[in-house]
A and B are shown apart, each in its own frame.
Chain A
Amino acid sequence: MIALVDYGAGNLTSVRKALDALGASFWTPTSPDEVARAAGIIVPGVGHFSATSALDAPWRTAILEAVNRSMPLLGICVGLQWLFEGSTEAPEVPGLGLMAGRCTLLSDGQAVDHELRSKDGGKQQAIGRRLKVPHVGWNSLAFPKPSRLFEGLVEGTQVYFTHSYAAPVVAATAAITVHGMPFSAAVEDGLVAGVQFHPEKSGDAGLRILRNWLTEA
C-alpha cells in the first residue's frame, strides 16, 4: 500500500485517478505513525511552499525514519521542492533537507519590468517578450544520468509543468528542464525521488514514469 500524504495542498483527485489506473493500492494516512506500514510514500502538492508547513515535526520524523529504512519516497511538484532545504517562496518553512540547495523563483536573469506591474497599467508601449511565470505547459526532459524513474523514456520526452519556483540542478538530478534557467525536473537518489512536473497530468509518458516508481515501491 502506498501512503498518499494529504496535507491540504491542492486536490489529490488526479493523483488518485492515476494510481487507480495503474492498479496501485493506496490510502491517505491520518497520522504520522501510519506511514511506517507503507510500501512507499507519495508527497504530492500544488500551490504554495508554505503549505508544506502542515507536515510538522512528527510527519517529518516519520517520513525520514521510513526513508532510512529504505522505503521509496516520491515528491510531486511542491513535494519535490520539499525534498530540498527550503524555498525562497516561504523562507521560514524548512524543507526535508534530503537534497542540498534551495528552490528559487524561475528567472532568466532579466530585470523585471516594473512598468508592467503598475496597477493602473496606464502605459501600453510595446515591451517585447519576457519569461512567463508560472511555467505552464509541456516541456522536454534531458537526462543527465540514467535513472529508474525514466526507464523506457527517450530524451526529449515532454511532460506537463505548472509552477513558479524550481529546485537547482544537483548531483541527484535525474532530469533537467529549462525555462529561463535550467532546473531539476526530477531528482533520484537511491529510493528518494521527486518530480517537478505532474506525471498524473502528462498522458502516457507520465503514467509510465509513475509506474516506474511504483515498481520500486
Chain B
Amino acid sequence: MLSKRIIACLDVRDGRVVKGINFEGLREAGDPALLARRYNVEGIDEIVILDVTATLEARQARAQTIAAVAHEIFLPLCVGGGIRTEGDAAAAVEAGADKVSLNTAALLDPSLITTLARRYGSQAVVVAIDARWQDGRAAVYVRSGQAETPRDAVNWAREATERGAGEILLTSIDRDGTKSGFDCALTAAVSDAVNIPVIASGGAGTFEHFAEVFTTGHADAALAASIFHFNEHSVEALKGFLHERNIPVRLPGHGTVPGAPDAPVHPQHG
C-alpha cells in the first residue's frame, strides 16, 4: 500500500533555515544541510526547500543550498520559492532538485506548468497553492499570502492538473505557523477534486493533526517545518504514532534485514 508521506520543509533565506508564523516574523532555525541530515536519519520521506525571499540575484546562492542538501540525502528533493522561469527551474534541477514547486509564476503564466512538464515530466512539477477561506470559497493568494487573486483553489488545482502538474502543495494561510491543525476541509476539497497527490501544509502542531489530515483531510502527504526544526517532535515518533493508528507510513530502518552481516550503506560525507 502506498504510504502517506511526511515531508519536512526548509524555509530558507540567505542560506539559513527560518520559519515564520503566518508568513511573518521569521525565526532562525539553522543550517539546511544539517537539518536535512538529521531528518534523513529520523526517516523523513522527502524534503522541500522553499527559498522564501528568493530573487533572481539569489539564484546562485539557492543552487548552493540545494547542492548542500542534496549531498546529504538520497531522498526526493523539491525546491520552490522564486521559480519564475524555465531557467530558474533548470538551475534548481541542475543543482540537484528532483522537483520544482511553482506558485506565483504558475498563476501569472499557467503555460509554464506545461513547459516544465514537457521538459522534465509531470513528476517534477509541483504546483503550490496558498489559500484561505473567504466568503465560503477557498481563495487563492499570492506573494506569501499577502495578495488575494480571483482564483478558487479547487478550480485552480484542477486546471494545474490538466496543464501537467504532478502534485499539488496546498498551504492554508490561516493555519500556517499556528500549530492549530491542518485545514482538513480545504485539503479534502482539493484532494477529492484532482487525481494527483495533494500535500497538505500549514498548521501542524501535534501528531493527532497529521492523523486527521490523512483521514478526514484525504491528504496524500503532509508537510511541516517548525515542529520538526526545533526538536519539538521527531519524525520517527510521529511515524510510530501514525502506524499505531493504522495509517500506512514508511517506518525508518525497516528496509534491510536487522543484524545482517552486510549492513545498509551510508553515503560518505566530506
Contact = CB atoms under 8 A, between A and B. Distances in A.
A and B: bona fide binding partners: yes
Given A134-B122, A137-B45, A207-B74, A121 B257 contact: no
Contact of A153 (B162, B193, B220, B257): B257
Interface string B56-95: 0000000000000011001110000000000000000110
A69 interface: no
Contact of A139 (B3, B74, B267): B3
Of B45, B74, B98, B155, the most chain A CB neighbours within 10 A belong to B74
B45 A138 contact: yes
B166 A162 contact: yes
Contacts of B264: 204-205, 207-208
Given A47-B120, A127-B192, A137-B2, A205 B256 contact: yes
Contact of A206 (B1, B74, B122, B192): B74
A117 B162 contact: yes
A130 interface: yes
A136 B159 contact: no
A14 interface: yes
B171 interface: no
Given A134-B123, A136-B220, A116 B75 contact: no
Contacts of A18: 74
A113 B3 CA distance: 24
Interface stretch (B8-16, B30-38, B194-202, B228-236): B194-202
Nearest to A211: B265
Contacts of B162: 117, 119
Interface string A125-151: 011111111111111100000000000
A160 interface: yes
A201 B256 contact: no
B262 interface: yes
B118 to A, nearest CB: 8
B246 to A, nearest CB: 15
B262 A152 contact: yes
A13 B265 contact: no
A81 to B, nearest CB: 13
Interface residue tally on A, bucketed by range: 35 or more
Contacts of B4: 137
Contacts of B196: 132-134, 136
Contact of B1 (A14, A119, A126, A139): A139
B245 interface: no
B96 interface: yes
B76 A160 contact: yes
A124 B186 CA distance: 13
26 contacts: A10-B121, A11-B98, A13-B93, A13-B94, A13-B96, A17-B71, A47-B123, A119-B162, A130-B195, A132-B220, A133-B196, A136-B197, A137-B220, A138-B2, A138-B45, A154-B256, A160-B76, A201-B98, A203-B255, A204-B74, A204-B256, A204-B265, A205-B264, A207-B264, A208-B256, A208-B265
Interface of B: 1-5, 40, 45, 70-71, 74-76, 93-94, 96, 98, 120-124, 154-155, 158-159, 162, 166-167, 189, 191-197, 218, 220-221, 250, 253-257, 260, 262, 264-268
Given A21-B74, A160-B75, A207-B267, 12 more contacts: A21-B267, A46-B121, A121-B159, A132-B220, A154-B254, A201-B74, A203-B40, A204-B74, A204-B266, A205-B264, A207-B265, A208-B256
